[in-house]
Each structure stands twice: as C-alpha cells, then as structure tokens.
Amino acid sequence: MPRQARSKVGILGIPFSKGQPKGGAEMGPEILRRAGLVSRIKRFDYQVVDHGDIEIESIPGDKPDGNVKNPRSVGRANKKISDKVASIVKSKELCLNLGGDHSIAIGSIHGHCRAEPGLVVVWVDAHADINTPLSSPSGNMHGMPLSLLVKELADRFSPVEGFDWCKPCIHVRDIVYIGLRDVDEGERWIIDQFGIPAYSMQEIDKMGIKEVMHHALKNLDPNGTRPIHLSFDVDGLDPTITPSTGTPVLGGLNIREGQYIMEELANTGRLSAIDIVEVNPLLGSEKDNMVTAETTISVIEKCFGSKRGGYYPASYVFPSL
Ligand SMILES: [Mn+2]
C-alpha cells in the first residue's frame, strides 16, 4: 500500500554558495520566489508554509582542508540545513529546498534521513557530485555532497573539517542518477564499483524517458514504499532552457523530459523532500534569468500535481446554474 502523499509543502530558502567559487548561487531563492514559485504551488492541493530563508553565517579565514575549499563554511551551513530540514519533514511537510549550490544537499539529505531513515535519492544532474575530497579535481564541495553521505565511501578519505556532525546515512544503492553527461574518472569508478543505477543522456536517448523512469524507480525501490528525496540540479536540463547556472553542459534534458520525470515522481505519492539548486542569476542576462526561472518552475510544479493534460484542485466547484 503506497504511503499517503503529504498535504503540506514547507518551503525553505538556502542562500548559500560557498560550495563553489562563483558568486550568485546564493540568489537562487530570491529569483525563484520573485518569479512566482510560491503562488504557483499554492494553486495545487497543498497547504504552503514558507519558512523563509535560512540564515547563513560566514566564517572568515576559512582555509582549505587538504583539497577541500571552504570546509568550515560548508560544514556550518549544512549542519543548520540538516536541523531545519529534519524538523520540516518531521512536521509532515513536503520540504522544498531552494538553493544555493549543490553542496546544500549534504544537509538536506542528512536532515531528511533523520526524519525518514528509509529514504531513496533521485539525483537529476549533468554531474554525479560523488567525488571524494581525494578524487575531486576542483576541491569544490558542490561536486562532493554524495560522498559525504554514503556509508561505502567513508573509509576512502579522512573526515573533513567542519563535518564532525555528519555521519553517512545512505547506501550507494539508495541513489539513482538521471541526466548525467559530465562525470569525472573517480566518479565513474564509484558508479561501476558499487553498481549505482545511472541513466546518462545516452541511456535517455537510447531508452526514452518513459523507460528510464520506469527502470529508475523499480531499481531503486522494487516495492515502491520508500520516501523519495529528489535532488534537482537545474544544469540537468539543457543550457538553452536553464542558461543561468554555474556549470552548464550541452546536450541536457529537454523541458518535456524534465516535466515527465517530475510527473512520474509525483505519481508515486512518496516525495518527501526536494532540492532545487544551482540557479545563478549573476551568470545570465535578464532574459536568461527569466527563462531559467520559468523553466525551473514549470518543471518543479509538476512535483505538486500540475498536469500538462489539465488539472483542477480537489476544492474545485464546476460553475452551474
Ligand atoms: Mn549538482
């Protein structure tokens, strides 16, 4: 028996960008709110609670820990994110996190795990974001969130400064990837070594998005009972439709594939937390930002029951004489 879908959405802004070097990702929540995200979600059968933006403290003189940049800033912010997400999920809200760069997924998945220990992760992204501090070519933590969360990689690197609070809470096989097309060597090794189901753009071209979603969800949770954490990097979509982002890669998901992924996830009734990350308005023109925000909202709203074939809320009354 599938669990009952959550009836409330808790929106949490996370204006954090120290997981990568480019300024502007901290403006993601603002740009999505300004483009009408909250009112768009209110049209559906959810009670919307806006928790505002989380307050991020800056840590001056945050020296690298080995290869890892800004470890204490990322660690401190994510501890806070974990606490907040845990409390939102515990209060039975579907937690919608507006990033921020993708390093915020460390705290959001960690906090989600505290409330829902049996969760699975759907990672929609051009990148695998599972480098360890040792395998990462850049040292930017937005490319490492999953390595800090999975139990199987804990013995592959030393604890990172600022992350003593963060114990791995998922297994590699609790993850499925969709949309990959820029994967580092160490990341590919991890995917092969542990057999992580990974649907790159090649599989999407070969199988079509319908088959990919069917297999992805079956692979992850054959019985279809576990809560789902969707971590959605807007660079999973093609840069022609989400140009305002930090690490765009050509050849991404088109708008219809993006919408279909979300519709299928909504149909499970098991979504309990969502991250939307890497919207960066400082990297695009005003028009780019409008396109990026509109694309992102039109995809994300499908998580809340918006249907391309038309829709009315449970409260709808058909006008009659
Ligand atoms: Mn990412």
184 counts as catalytic: no
Closest CA to 253 of 243, 238, 241: 238
Q: Hey, where are the domains in the chain?
A: 8-304
Annotated binding site for Mn(2+): 102, 125, 127, 129, 233, 235
Tell me which CATH code domain 8-304 carries. 3.40.800.10
Please list, in sequence order, all residues whose beta carbon lies within 8 angstroms of the beta carbon of residue 173, skipping any fewer than 6 positions away.
Answer: 194, 195, 196
Tell me if residue 196 falls in helix, strand or coil: coil
Q: What pLDDT does residue 4 have?
A: 54
Q: What pLDDT does residue 171 have?
A: 98
142 counts as catalytic: yes
Tell me if residue 307 falls in helix, strand or coil: coil
Cα–Cα–Cα angle for 95, 115, 237, rounded to 5 degrees? 40
Hey, what are 183's tokens? 């994967």
Residue 172 CA, ligand 1 centroid: distance in Å: 17
Residues of the chain with pLDDT under 70: 1-4
Strand 120-124 and strand 228-233: the pairing is parallel
Q: What pLDDT does residue 1 have?
A: 33
Residues with CB under 5 A from ligand 1 (ion): 102, 125, 127, 129, 233
Backbone angles phi, psi at 274, to 5 degrees: -135, 135
51 counts as catalytic: no
- Distance CA(118)–CA(288), nearest Å, equals 38
Q: Enter the pTM of the model.
A: 0.96
Q: Which of 127, 174, 263, 264 is catalytic?
A: 127
- Distance CA(159)–CA(133), nearest Å, equals 9
- Distance CA(209)–CA(316), nearest Å, equals 32
Q: What pLDDT does residue 260 have?
A: 97
278 counts as catalytic: yes
Q: What pLDDT does residue 6 have?
A: 81
pLDDT digits (tens, 9 = 90+) for 225-240: 999 999 999 999 999 9
- Distance CA(161)–CA(302), nearest Å, equals 38
155 counts as catalytic: no
220 vs 191, 201, 252, 271, CA distance in Å? 14, 19, 23, 14
Helix axes 255-268, 209-220, angle to 10 degrees: 40
